[in-house]
């Protein structure tokens, strides 16, 4: 019984100090922050339309993202922010196989591809609401994106003659828009743990994708244009420095 009473007394004695610490942290007004976070990047629907004259069956799968964000509140609620996000997503080549199988051109198709890389530099206004130890941020952003399309390889056969279709990796730059929310919980005078959710969208255009078709020993090469409406949902968690 004595072994239980002592820890209980210590816990009760610590409650006032814990409550006092929370009270102090909840009333500290740190207007600036620097976030470093990492998480997942998921392809979602883009707000931009595709170009029917430059279609592509190459899609994106889930991947990872790393984000660094800084911001400052100019008033009690309104502020500005800037962020740099890098997303790395595997290529989803399944639609390529499905499309070529529907044409009934060749058989035994297999495909492989590299990874999509998308980097974004975004700026925009923010609105912040505080509740105790928690800070809730909302933002609307605009900026610039750098997208790299992965190389792909599609293999099949026609009457036992091997077929090979290859496309090159290409880069594109475009305007990007986004919106997002963050939740930060203060754990010290200058630190908080944070969760971030961002939706980002752009339309990447690749003007000179090298496409090579090899049938047996014969090869033909052409350059094609592709457009890719890109939508990204980035979910990250990390640490915030408050100042």
23-32 contact pairs (CB < 8 A, 24+): 25/133, 25/186, 25/188, 25/189, 26/130, 26/132, 26/133, 26/186, 28/186, 28/189, 28/242, 30/190, 30/242, 30/243, 31/72, 31/73, 31/79, 31/243, 32/70, 32/71, 32/72, 32/73, 32/242, 32/243
Tens digit of each residue's pLDDT (9 = 90 or more) over 50-78: 898 888 899 999 999 999 999 999 999 99
Could you give the CA distance from residue 23 to residue 27 in angstroms, rounded to a whole number? 6
CB 202 within 8 A of CB 173: no
Tens digit of each residue's pLDDT (9 = 90 or more) over 6-19: 555 544 444 454 44
What is the band of 158 on the pLDDT scale with cuts at 50, 70, 90? confident
What is the band of 151 on the pLDDT scale with cuts at 50, 70, 90? very high
Report the pLDDT value the prediction gives residue 3, as an integer from 0 to 100.
56
pTM of the model: 0.84
Structural domains of the chain sorted by starting position, each given as residue range(s) with its CATH number in brackets: 30-242 (2.40.160.20)
What value does the mean pLDDT take over residues 161-174? Answer: 95
pLDDT above 70 coverage of the chain, percent:
88
Residue 106 makes CB contacts below 8 A (sequence gap 6+) with 100, 156, 157, 158, 163
For residue 164, what are its two tokens? 């090979």
Tens digit of each residue's pLDDT (9 = 90 or more) over 210-243: 999 999 889 999 999 999 999 999 999 999 999 9
- Mean pLDDT of all residues in the chain? 90
Report the pLDDT value the prediction gives residue 44, as an integer from 0 to 100.
98
Would the pLDDT of 26 be above 50? yes
Could you give the CA distance from residue 141 to residue 82 in angstroms, rounded to a whole number? 9
Report the pLDDT value the prediction gives residue 18, as an integer from 0 to 100.
43
């Amino acid at each position: 019984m004595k072994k239980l009473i002592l820890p209980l007394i210590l816990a009760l004695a610590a409650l006032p100090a814990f409550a006092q610490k929370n009270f102090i942290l909840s009333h500290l007004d740190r207007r600036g922050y620097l976030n470093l976070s990492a998480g997942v990047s998921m392809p979602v629907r883009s707000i931009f339309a595709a170009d029917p004259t430059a279609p592509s069956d190459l899609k994106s799968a889930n991947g990872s993202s790393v984000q660094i964000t800084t911001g400052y509140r100019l008033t009690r609620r309104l502020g500005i922010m800037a962020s740099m996000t890098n997303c790395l997503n595997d290529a989803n080549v399944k639609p390529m196989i499905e499309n070529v199988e529907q044409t009934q051109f060749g058989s035994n198709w297999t495909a492989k591809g590299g990874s999509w890389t998308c980097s974004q530099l975004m700026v925009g206004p923010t609105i912040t609401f505080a509740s105790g130890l928690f800070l809730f941020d909302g933002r609307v952003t605009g900026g610039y994106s750098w997208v790299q399309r992965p190389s792909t390889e599609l293999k099949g056969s026609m009457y036992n003659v091997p077929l090979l279709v290859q496309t090159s990796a290409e880069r594109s730059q475009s305007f990007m828009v986004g919106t997002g929310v963050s939740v930060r919980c203060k754990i010290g005078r200058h630190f908080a743990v944070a969760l971030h959710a961002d939706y980002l969208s752009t339309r990447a255009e690749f003007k000179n994708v090298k496409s090579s078709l090899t049938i047996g020993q014969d090869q033909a090469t052409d350059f094609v244009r592709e457009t890719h409406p890109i939508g990204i949902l980035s979910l990250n968690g990390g640490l915030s420095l408050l100042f």
